Structure 1
Amino acid sequence: MTMRVRFFGDFSVHIGDEPVDQPRGKIAGLFQYLLLNRGHTVGREKLYEVLWPGREPSTTDSSLKVAVHTLRQVLKRAGPGAEIAGHTNGYVLRADDLWLDVDEFDVCLDAGRIAEDAGDFARAARCYRQAVELYRGDLLASETADWVTAQRECDRALVLYALSWLRADALRRGDHPAVITLCRRIIEIDPYHEETYQTLMLAHGRRGELGQVRNWHKLCVRRLQDDLDVAPTATTSRIYSRAVRGELRVPVAA
């Protein structure tokens, strides 16, 4: 049966429909890193760097061997599907039937970019929406290891690209409810994305929802000034002024 692993949001492993008991601490970190690098031998020095940053490996330190042994026992209890093989210079995780949300995420993004470059915007939209649906939260949201943080920021930038493309597509089509939903999702990921606040004010201004225009402008100003100590750009101020004067409102067809 397929081992299904989710890295976005809370880390989880299922075999078929059954959840697998999660390893904790360093064992979890070892499992996660080997999963993301499955099929490739990861050197012992690299694993020490990942699990115990700043600690030099030594011939008398058995910490890694103990962690690998413990993880093997966890995988054995989970049933067939994944195993860890040892080599002279490191370890490799092999799995015959494995699905990772991060892999599917990358596949969808690549397909979206290919479709976008080919001018097939309908297919690009489908692929980017699939990528966004897979992104259920930051990669390994509760982990703080350096290698996790670096990968997390990369994936966050990628999903923001997909969301921004979908937002622009919805704007072109005049689908203001979709624009607003996508903007809210962007701000959940990046609360300082000023262009998104501008888009929200435009969308609500076109619908005549001046209270929402004021609320988003207020939130934008507060976050930029209080958290980043920067003032909103002139573009933000101009959009806000035009919106509250009713200049952006689109007449409703009779």
Structure 2
Amino acid sequence: MPVTWRSKKSTNLLALLLMSPGRPVPKESIERALWPSANRPARTSSVKVAVHLLRRALDDEFGPERTVLRIDGVSGAYVLHAGAATTVDVHEFEQLCRSGRVAERHGDTQTARQCYRRALALHSGEFLSKHGEEWCHTPRRWLQAELVRALEVLATYACEDGDFDAVSDYVTKIFSHDAVNEHAFRMLITIHGRMARMDQVQYWYDCCVFRLAYELDVSPTRRTRHLYRRALDGDLVDARHPTSRTSPCRTS
């Protein structure tokens, strides 16, 4: 049975506290997040009311003697004790991305792949997509950047493996979040250049030029232009095995 929320502020407050479980969140920070300056109430009791309503909703669902999702007031702040059995997908996602970066730095590509794939499996959509509050914007942009980077790394690994179908899949996902991602365009130019599909090399370079001009009013970087020329000149093709699964993937 889902929790019965008595107010939208309760759901926003729970989401805010879950971003910092076990750590005190000052009342002033809660007030600024839940009531942006233009809509901030004159009464300072509004935070107390929101906390009270949230506690009642959690009491109704889990019982007043629960050991999870317990909210305590401490020295002008509130702290959420989530409980050992409670997991927050956002924190798991961030930890997996951090572990992936550490594995990359140590040259452990197998662990890096596993971490990034697990992170993608956790990602179920935009962070608090139904919440338009200002405080959501920064973590939303950060998590999207983390997602795109994980996709870029996995696309690069897939290209090195010669798994061009996987590259296309990852790049499609990148474009759904970042339509002007030059790294993704370079990946497409690279895989088609390796397979000597010059019409596709030209197509994706033209798409890159158009999107960058339309969205950002800029041209492709020197790196992208250089790769495009090399692809058209046939420098990326393996003459013996055009679709080799072992030749390295270069995007420069």
How high is the TM-score relative to the length of structure 2?
A: 0.80
Q: Does 1:221 align with 2:209?
A: yes
**2:246 matched to which residue of 1?**
none
Q: Any gaps of 5 or more consecutive residues in structure 2?
A: 244-252
Which runs of structure 2 are paired with 1:78-157 in the superposition (5 Å)?
Answer: 78-79=61-62, 80=66, 81-96=68-83, 97-157=85-145
Letter paired with 1:50: A
Aligned equivalents of 1:21 and 1:222: distance in 2?
Answer: 49
**1:166 matched to which residue of 2?**
154
- Determine helix, strand or coil for the equivalent of 1:230: coil
In the alignment of these two chains, the number of paired residues is 235
- Determine helix, strand or coil for the equivalent of 1:138: coil
**2:25 matched to which residue of 1?**
42
Aligned equivalents of 1:83 and 1:246: distance in 2?
Answer: 63
Q: Does 1:30 align with 2:17?
A: no
Aligned equivalents of 1:52 and 1:19: distance in 2?
Answer: 26
Letter paired with 1:32: A
On the 8 A contact 1:205/1:246 being kept in 2, the answer is yes
Which runs of structure 2 are paired with 1:166-185 in the superposition (5 Å)?
Answer: 166-185=154-173
Deviates more, 1:244-253 or 1:229-238: 244-253
- Determine helix, strand or coil for the equivalent of 2:191: helix
Letter paired with 2:79: V
Aligned equivalents of 2:57 and 2:222: distance in 1?
Answer: 57
Alignment deviations for residues 67-88 of structure 1 (CA, whole Å, 9 cap, x no partner) = 1121112212221432222234
Deviates more, 1:169-178 or 1:68-77: 169-178
On the 8 A contact 1:213/1:244 being kept in 2, the answer is yes
Alignment deviations for residues 91-136 of structure 1 (CA, whole Å, 9 cap, x no partner) = 2222222111112112212322332233221111111111122222
How many Å apart are 1:49 and its aligned residue?
A: 0.8
On the 8 A contact 1:30/1:67 being kept in 2, the answer is yes
Alignment deviations for residues 170-192 of structure 1 (CA, whole Å, 9 cap, x no partner) = 22222222222222222222111
On the 8 A contact 1:180/1:203 being kept in 2, the answer is no
On the 8 A contact 2:101/2:112 being kept in 1, the answer is yes
How many Å apart are 1:229 and its aligned residue?
A: 1.0
Root mean square deviation of aligned Cα: 2.7
Percent identity of paired positions between Structure 1 and Structure 2:
35
- Determine helix, strand or coil for the equivalent of 1:85: strand
- Determine helix, strand or coil for the equivalent of 1:49: helix
Q: 2:190 aligns with which of 202, 212, 216?
A: 202
- Determine helix, strand or coil for the equivalent of 1:129: helix
- Determine helix, strand or coil for the equivalent of 2:87: strand
Letter paired with 1:93: L
How high is the TM-score relative to the length of structure 1?
A: 0.79
- Determine helix, strand or coil for the equivalent of 1:98: coil
Letter paired with 1:92: V
- Determine helix, strand or coil for the equivalent of 2:21: coil
Richer in strand (by share): 1
How many Å apart are 1:209 and its aligned residue?
A: 4.5
Aligned equivalents of 1:153 and 1:23: distance in 2?
Answer: 29
Query: CA 1:89/1:113 → structure 2, altered by over 3 Å: closer, same or farther?
Result: same
